[in-house]
Amino acid sequence: MACALGAAALTVAACSVGGAEAPHPARSARPATSPSHPPPHTAPPTLAPGPAGLTRVFASAERQERRTVALTFDADMTADQGARAASGEHFDNPRLIAALRALRVPATVFMTGRWAEQYPAQAKDIGGDPLFEVANHSYSHHAFTGDCYGLPSVPAGRMRADVERAFAAFRAAGVRHVVPYFRFPGGCYDRAALRALAPAGVTAVQWDVVSGDAFATDARAVERQVLDGVRPGSVVVMHCTRSAAPTTERVVRAVVPALRAKGYRFVRVSELLGADRKA
């Protein structure tokens, strides 16, 4: 199963400045509470393995009647992008994180372990903010299937270790609010991958709304795609990197008030999944 992000899986990276940690533009002005009222971080809900012991996949809260929506942002730095970051390429979007804080929007950041190693202070900062939760997007952003937009692939026997290595990188960086959710690089998975990840105890989280922000230059087109696609219980996939998704901050600043005007409330994936289980 693949996503509509296409080649974006190859280069989309993360939420900080390439090569060095950036000062956080909104750290001192962080709001104490959110109009979306995110609940305190508690033990996150998960889905038990399905038939044949396969890892379960959550893409949206289909039974959700309340107008809730989860914005998710992939911080997918690949294992070979360190040199590019060191040379000055900006795999970051600090203004996006500042916008989420200014708008008081809870969100889930799917982070690679390689990114947490490159930008440990930023990873810790995001994971320490009660608005956000950090989920696993693999260690190196290699594919978990054999054919996924040209990404190098992880052998089935190493898939669990790759996921656990990312969690270890989060711990080393001091990241708090880590949830046991996993997003497949490129959105690609098959039964073999779901079987390999079952011992890791994670719930796979996909999406039902592709924002189209990767490599987009027309912010209005991305806005329309999000607004046209969101339904109660939706999970929206977006990205937080200036180099590969330069319009995302503008998109967020437009769609958040538009969705709130329609009665939507923003939640983290953990809250959306928990509400879906209770429905």
Give the H/E segment covering residue 203.
strand 203-205
Distances (CA, A) of 251 to 54, 99, 172: 36, 10, 33
Q: DSSP 3-state assignment of 195?
A: helix
pTM of the model: 0.87
**Whether residue 43 has pLDDT greater than 90:** no
Give the pLDDT of residue 9: 41
Find out whether 190 and 222 touch, Cβ atoms under 8 Å. no
Distances (CA, A) of 241 to 14, 39, 77, 176, 216: 5, 27, 10, 22, 12
Percentage with pLDDT > 70 across the chain: 85
Q: Report, as an integer, the average pLDDT of 38-55.
A: 86
Neighbour count for residue 88 (Cβ, 10 Å): 10
Six-digit token string for 85: 């970051």
**Whether residue 36 has pLDDT greater than 70:** no
**Whether residue 204 has pLDDT greater than 70:** yes
Q: Report, as an integer, the average pLDDT of 221-233.
A: 97
Give the pLDDT of residue 63: 75
pLDDT tier for residue 4 given thresholds of 50, 70 and 90:
very low
* Alpha carbon distance 204, 128 (integer Å): 23
pLDDT tier for residue 211 given thresholds of 50, 70 and 90:
very high
Residue matched to tokens 């958040």: 256
Tell which wins on pLDDT, 239 or 40.
239
Neighbour count for residue 82 (Cβ, 10 Å): 16
**Whether residue 13 has pLDDT greater than 60:** no
Find out whether 268 and 69 touch, Cβ atoms under 8 Å. no
Give the pLDDT of residue 39: 67
Give the H/E segment covering residue 72.
strand 68-75
Average pLDDT, the chain: 87
**Whether residue 12 has pLDDT greater than 70:** no
Six-digit token string for 245: 């998704």
Q: Report, as an integer, the average pLDDT of 140-159.
A: 95
Most confident residue range from 1-10, 78-87, 250-259: 250-259
What is the DSSP code (8-state) at residue 241? -
Q: DSSP 3-state assignment of 238?
A: strand
What radius of gyration do the chain's Cα atoms show? 17
Give the pLDDT of residue 242: 81
Give the pLDDT of residue 90: 78
**Whether residue 79 has pLDDT greater than 90:** no
pLDDT tier for residue 88 given thresholds of 50, 70 and 90:
confident
Give the pLDDT of residue 32: 38
* Alpha carbon distance 69, 2 (integer Å): 22
* Environment class of 105 (CB within 10 Å of its CB; exposed 0-12, middle 13-18, buried 19+): buried
**Whether residue 65 has pLDDT greater than 90:** no
**Whether residue 10 has pLDDT greater than 50:** no
pLDDT tier for residue 16 given thresholds of 50, 70 and 90:
very low
Q: Report, as an integer, the average pLDDT of 198-206.
A: 97
* Alpha carbon distance 130, 123 (integer Å): 13
